[in-house]
Amino acid sequence: MKKGSKAATPESAAPSSTTVEGRRKYDPEETKRNILDIATQEFSAMGLTGARVDAIAERTNTTKRMLYYYFGSKEGLYEAVLEQVYSDIRALEQELQLAEMGPEEALREFVGFTFDYHDKHRDFVRLVTIENIHGAKYIEQSKTFKTRNSSVVKTIEDLIARGVAAGRFRDDVDPIDLHLMISSMCFHRIANQHTWGAAFGRDPSGPRSRTRHREMIVESVLRFMRRDT
Amino acid sequence: MKKGSKAATPESAAPSSTTVEGRRKYDPEETKRNILDIATQEFSAMGLTGARVDAIAERTNTTKRMLYYYFGSKEGLYEAVLEQVYSDIRALEQELQLAEMGPEEALREFVGFTFDYHDKHRDFVRLVTIENIHGAKYIEQSKTFKTRNSSVVKTIEDLIARGVAAGRFRDDVDPIDLHLMISSMCFHRIANQHTWGAAFGRDPSGPRSRTRHREMIVESVLRFMRRDT
Amino acid sequence: MKKGSKAATPESAAPSSTTVEGRRKYDPEETKRNILDIATQEFSAMGLTGARVDAIAERTNTTKRMLYYYFGSKEGLYEAVLEQVYSDIRALEQELQLAEMGPEEALREFVGFTFDYHDKHRDFVRLVTIENIHGAKYIEQSKTFKTRNSSVVKTIEDLIARGVAAGRFRDDVDPIDLHLMISSMCFHRIANQHTWGAAFGRDPSGPRSRTRHREMIVESVLRFMRRDT
Amino acid sequence: MKKGSKAATPESAAPSSTTVEGRRKYDPEETKRNILDIATQEFSAMGLTGARVDAIAERTNTTKRMLYYYFGSKEGLYEAVLEQVYSDIRALEQELQLAEMGPEEALREFVGFTFDYHDKHRDFVRLVTIENIHGAKYIEQSKTFKTRNSSVVKTIEDLIARGVAAGRFRDDVDPIDLHLMISSMCFHRIANQHTWGAAFGRDPSGPRSRTRHREMIVESVLRFMRRDT
DNA sequence: TATGAATGAGTTTTCATTCAT
DNA sequence: AATGAATGAAAACTCATTCAT
């Protein structure tokens, strides 16, 4: 079913070996991306051990063999997924124009962004969770991982410094601690939505609490950072 | 408390029947507990799919067969482990004597307890994380789970009510939201210690940050709850 | 069996506790019969390999241990069940008063009895089927089995002889062949009721076809035996 | 017919692709057939529960894994075996050229064929028996099973109708009943050969009684169907 | 006599990975 | 580059039977 139509349809006009509109029949980049997308879904849904190579391959436009061809092993594919997903959030964080805002507004913006990102990218949250189950041993092999993360630290350091200079923020808070605090609250309501929902009969990650939680988190961070008067 | 008392009893007080030297050959309760203990470690370390029944059995004082005899299946054992760890924390929460304290002190105590519990019982944190990977479908089958959790909600409701009555706490915070906030911060630094450590070169769950984090969390919660003056 | 001392106890002295109204608390015969009854049902329903010792024991009034105590093994129990069930039908056959009837009537009676017995005792039919799957190797170990069966042969021989003498029956039919013919038709509609039902949408062993089949079988046997005129 | 021609073809005619010396390394059809053949023997000899997947695999040209690859489970394989053997007999029945014969001759031919088929294909008889032990629940899942069986009914209906029209057969016999009668006698002597042999010291399925039984069955059926004069 | 607990050997099934075409 | 077939090692689970009390 899928297979028959698949081979023909997308290139419908494209015969086996020719190039049409710059799109090759065998597009390695496209194939890789396709595998990566499906793998992201599967690993995020099932975990590293729970995911099945067969299941991933089946949902792909290609075959199991290609998966090994491009990523070497199940673990190699998982690593690639992790890298991908981490690079996404760090890239977006970079795009925030915090320097143009006052420190309180900037912190508000940063927390809000973090909240929204977690709320929207549940695959990311789940994959981070999964990677922690495995002691982060896969992400540790990534070369770019550490460098990439230093950028956030810098962002927060600047933010705090400006607030302290303006007499608005306290000066005894470690930037990584602050980041941890923000992450905690944004992450937890997504990561533990299921047990929480089962325990209290209410999904903490659902749309009904989104606005309320966003405000609660922003406010608590600001209250915490505000200098005592 | 259970654990403490248990470890002592069998040796000291004369047990019901034929025990000599404290070790009965046929002791089903002991066998079950032994399996459960090991399984808690293994599931917590490896996840549900990652854990191996053989590995669990091997570390046990008994055989794989008994594991099936008492718990029916790998999943049955996992469920029993989950029930156990959840019941432990809920039982301890019940023992807090918050009613005797003023509301601020009580909240401080509650947050502190939650922090310490998560800091000390990492198996619990990991198992909850793992269960969320599985969409909480195992804990949902527990009959006692929901009832058990209602106790914490009650505790927090009382606590808030007393603070509001005393004019110290704001009155617009939902108790489950407050609980979520507290849990988030206590949970995250343990659950995500590995990726966090890999990202920033510092283990957020390590002893060097324990006191600092404890204070940060207690303080942020209190600041958040305090009535604006 | 193994433990000599044990074999003596149950009969001789009244067991440990009290006797009420001539009914002993522990009645070995009753226990054995109970086990045998349940085992008959289970083996008949599930086959020798399909039946579970645990399942049998559970439905019993006693425990698995007793099952081994009285019957030695699963196979021993199965053999006992087989013996039981075969002895039942042969005993009933003996009770037929065929000598008082004319040969045609007697044959009619014999076929009818065989039909009714199979129709009513489905456990018997299933157990015979099961035993054939196992090449009859269990029933072959029975000492009484062969002797018991010779009685039917005698019955049929007499019957034929009388019919031949009276000029009503043909004289070229082997008694065992005739018995086989009769058995075939009575047995098959029960033994293969399920595949037959699935194949043709009609249960050949059901009450709706009972009378019709009975007549068909009786008639076909008689027509077959009748001397050509 | 299938079998005969099949065994010959692959060697003689040039097969599609790279075959040399008739044995392709990768021949899924051959692999499946090989597994099915061995499984037919094992299930027929040991029953569904009694058969061992390992034992089947071992006698195969391939590995246990392939058995699961093609048939999914032990039960799936068993189902495939059942389908196969049923389709074989029904296919052969179709090939009988009964229309060209007179009704009596045709009935004689049909009974003879049924007799010979059962006498020769003991696997079929055993598998049907085994399936009945399981309440026919596996064959019931076959989609083609019911349709396939309707063909025999048609055959017999025609046969009876022609005999009735010719004034040779009685007109009060249900075709399925007649089929049951024929099957009973052909089936029973094979299916119950072992208990019968043990009981009467004579194997009813052996070569010494084959001709005699064949005649007896043919004759009894014809006598039964013949119109009274 | 009775019983729940215990066991070892075996049985089915799964899975990541590689091979032949 | 692509694919269905094939595989070995390991995993979960079952069962008849025996032991300790």
Nucleotide lying nearest to A63, CA to C1' measure: F3
pLDDT tens string B125-166: 999 999 999 999 999 999 889 888 888 999 999 999 999 999
Between CA B12 and CA B58 the distance in angstroms is 29
**Cβ-based contacts (< 7 Å) between D 7-36 and strand E:** 17-18, 24-26
Nucleotide nearest D68, CA–C1', reads: E13
Rounded to whole angstroms, the distance from the CA of residue B146 to the C1' of nucleotide F13 is 31
CA B25 to C1' F21, in angstroms, rounded, equals: 10
Q: List chain B residues with pLDDT less than 50.
A: 1-22
| The residue type at B30 | E
CA of A129 to C1' of E5 (A): 40
Residue of D nearest to C135 (CA): D194
Q: What is the mean pLDDT of chain C?
A: 88
Query: Of C126, C184, C198, which has the smallest distance from its Cβ to D136's Cβ?
Result: C198
CA distance linking residue B150 with residue B139, whole number of Å: 15
Q: Which residues of A touch B138 (CB under 8 A)?
A: none
Q: Which of residues 60-89 of C touch strand E (CB under 7 A)?
A: 62-66
Q: At what angle do helices C64-71 and C74-95 cross, to 10 degrees?
A: 60
Where along chain A do its domains lie?
83-225
**Which pLDDT score is estimated for B146?**
85
Say which of A139, A177, A188 has its CB closest to residue B184. Answer: A188
> Are the beta carbons of C132 and D194 closer than 8 angstroms?
yes
Kindly report, residue by residue over D146-179, the tens digit of the pLDDT: 888 888 999 999 999 999 999 999 999 999 999 9
The pLDDT assigned to C228 comes to 76
Which range is least confidently modeled, B40-44, C85-89, D119-123?
A: C85-89
Position A24 scores a pLDDT of 52
- Out of A191, A200, A219, the one facing B149 most closely (by C-beta) is A200
pTM reported for the whole predicted model: 0.87
> Quick check: B32 contacting A, CB < 8 Å?
no
pLDDT at C145 over 50: yes
User: What is the spatial distance, in angstroms and rounded to an integer, between the CA atom of C210 and the C1' atom of E11?
Assistant: 42
How much of chain C exceeds pLDDT 70, in percent? 88
- The answer to whether A147 contacts chain B (CB < 8 Å) is no
Residue C226, SS3 per DSSP: strand
Predicted local distance difference test score (pLDDT) of residue D32: 95
Q: Select from B148, B227, B174 the least CA-distant residue to A208.
A: B174
What is the tens place of the pLDDT at every residue in A104-160? 999 999 999 999 999 999 999 999 999 999 999 999 988 888 888 888 899 999 999
D151, D178, D180, D209: best mutation site toward chain C, by most C Cβ within 10 Å?
D180
Give the Å distances, CA to CA, from B214 to B113, B162, B217, C188: 10, 24, 5, 80
* Residue count of chain A: 229
- Find which nucleotide's C1' atom is closest to D25's CA: E20
Nearest nt by C1' to C69 Cα = E1
Give the DSSP letter string of B110-156.
HHHHHHHHHHH-HHHHHHHHHHHHTTTTTGGG-SHHHHHHHHHHHHH
**The pLDDT of residue B147:** 87
Question: Which residues in range 85-104 of chain D are in contact with strand E, contact meaning CB within 7 A of any of its atoms?
Answer: none
pLDDT for residue C149 = 84
pLDDT of C229:
65
Q: Which two tokens stand for residue B82?
A: 């989950």
Question: How far apart, in Å, are the Cα atoms of D172 and each of A207, D153, D156, D169, D225?
Answer: 74, 16, 14, 9, 9
List, as ranges, residues 182-201 from C with C-beta within 8 Å of D.
Answer: 183-185, 187-189, 191-201
Nearest to A139 among B126, B198, B223 (CB): B198
pLDDT score of A163 more than 90: yes
Going by pLDDT thresholds of 50, 70 and 90, the confidence category of residue A5 is: very low
Of A171-175, B184-188, C7-11, the least confident: C7-11
Query: What sign for the dihedral angle of Cα A141, A142, A146, A147?
Result: positive
Rg value, chain A, Cα: 22
CATH of D83-225, one of 3.40.640.10, 1.10.357.10, 3.40.50.300, 1.10.1040.10: 1.10.357.10
CB distance C185 to C220 below 8 Å: yes
